[in-house]
Amino acid sequence: MNITQRILLTGALAAIMSGCATAPETIDELQTARAVVPQVEASPRAGVAATYIAEARKSLDRANRLADGGGDLEDIQHEATLATLNAQIANEKILAAQAREEIDKGTAERQAVLIESREREAQRRAAQADLARQQADEASQRAKSLEEELAALKAKPTPRGMVLTLGDVLFDTGQATLKPGAYPTIEKVASVLKAESDRRITIEGHTDSVGTDEFNQSLSQRRAAAVETALLERGVASNQITAMGKGESFPVASNDNVGGRQQNRRVELIFANEGSQVASDVD
């Protein structure tokens, strides 16, 4: 073997020995650790896993130093594996923290929605209460105004409501035709009823005891109907009016004298109290 061959062999052996003494160019465990550790370090929630991230960094740094210095492969793999495991634990803690934040956020949002809903409901109820008070005040004012108007017409309060009496002088004798003198009162009554569309009125015709029961019943009914017709013609709604004849059954004075019989010949307009039954139902 000449000198040239000896030198080449020595170089080849040196290359072989060098390859055996140094770590491989690519170590899978190290590459994995180098990828995952920086990721968890960069997380905005890294603080929740600071201890594990710190341990992962230490192990990765040791693995890098061993790899750069030609250290033992198993030692490099061990440190790299420790780095990856600590990084994985840190990542799980970060994910758990993120999940808790999402839950808390969802709970807070639900709470906010619930509070907003309750506030809207409270506002709605307050508005309803205000409206109810306003309506009650208006109804009270309307009732007061009605009582004043009826009082001006000389209506009298009774358990059945305010009663306005149209005397016999407003009709022709023995007839059911209203005389002109009745219409000013009819106009005022119609005005009251149209202003109070929920107000009900009962019209009752009455007679004295002169004549047959059949005639008196018919006359009282026709006189009540005449007043009803006059009110309808002036725009009062039909569902506000009930008209009936009572004949001679309900005298307010004695039929034994002229004055008493005149009082008994009458038409009564009964304005039912609010919330009560129709006046005629009370008889």
Residues 172, 270, single domain; the answer is: yes
Question: When comparing pLDDT for 145 and 184, which is higher?
Answer: 184
Chain mean pLDDT for the chain:
82
Is 15 a domain residue? no
Domain closes at, from 75, 106, 140: 140
Residues 32, 70, single domain; the answer is: yes
* Closest to 278 (Cα-Cα) out of 231, 241, 245, 227: 241
Is 219 a domain residue? yes
Residues 176, 269, single domain; the answer is: yes
Residue 131 and residue 116: Cα distance in Å, rounded?
22
Question: What is the model's pLDDT at position 155?
Answer: 81
Residues 202, 249, single domain; the answer is: yes
Is 244 a domain residue? yes
Residues 57, 100, single domain; the answer is: yes
128 CB-side CA count, 13 A: 6
CATH of the domain at 157: 3.30.1330.60
Is 12 a domain residue? no
Its domain, for residue 116, covers: 23-140
Question: When comparing pLDDT for 174 and 72, which is higher?
Answer: 72
Domain closes at, from 82, 116, 140: 140
pLDDT reading at 242 higher than 50 = yes
Residues 161, 264, single domain; the answer is: yes
**Which tens digits make up the pLDDT trace of 204-213?**
999 989 889 9
Percent of the chain with pLDDT over 90: 45
191-197 long-range contacts (CB < 8 A, ≥24 apart) are 191/149, 192/146, 192/149, 192/150, 192/271, 193/231, 193/236, 193/237, 193/240, 194/234, 194/235, 194/236, 195/142, 195/145, 195/146, 196/142, 196/146, 197/237, 197/240
pLDDT reading at 82 higher than 90 = yes
Residue with tokens 């993120």: 98
Question: What is the model's pLDDT at position 274?
Answer: 60
Residues 74, 106, single domain; the answer is: yes
Residue 267 and residue 100: Cα distance in Å, rounded?
83
Amino acid identity of residue 190, one-letter, is A
Q: Are 76 and 22 in contact (CB under 8 A)?
A: no
Is 14 a domain residue? no
**Which tens digits make up the pLDDT trace of 137-179?**
776 676 666 667 666 677 888 888 889 988 877 887 788 888 8
Residues 167, 117, single domain; the answer is: no
Residues 200, 278, single domain; the answer is: yes
Residues 41, 63, single domain; the answer is: yes
173-180 long-range contacts (CB < 8 A, ≥24 apart) are 174/219, 176/219, 176/222, 176/223, 176/225, 176/226, 177/226, 178/226, 178/227, 178/230
Is 60 a domain residue? yes
Residue 252 and residue 263: Cα distance in Å, rounded?
7
Is 271 a domain residue? yes
Question: When comparing pLDDT for 8 and 69, which is higher?
Answer: 69
Query: What's the first-to-final CA gap in the chain, in angstroms?
Result: 149
Is 7 a domain residue? no
Residues 48, 117, single domain; the answer is: yes
Number of domains present in the structure of the chain: 2
Amino acid identity of residue 165, one-letter, is T
Amino acid identity of residue 101, one-letter, is E
Question: What is the model's pLDDT at position 117?
Answer: 80
pTM of the model: 0.49
Residues 158, 274, single domain; the answer is: yes
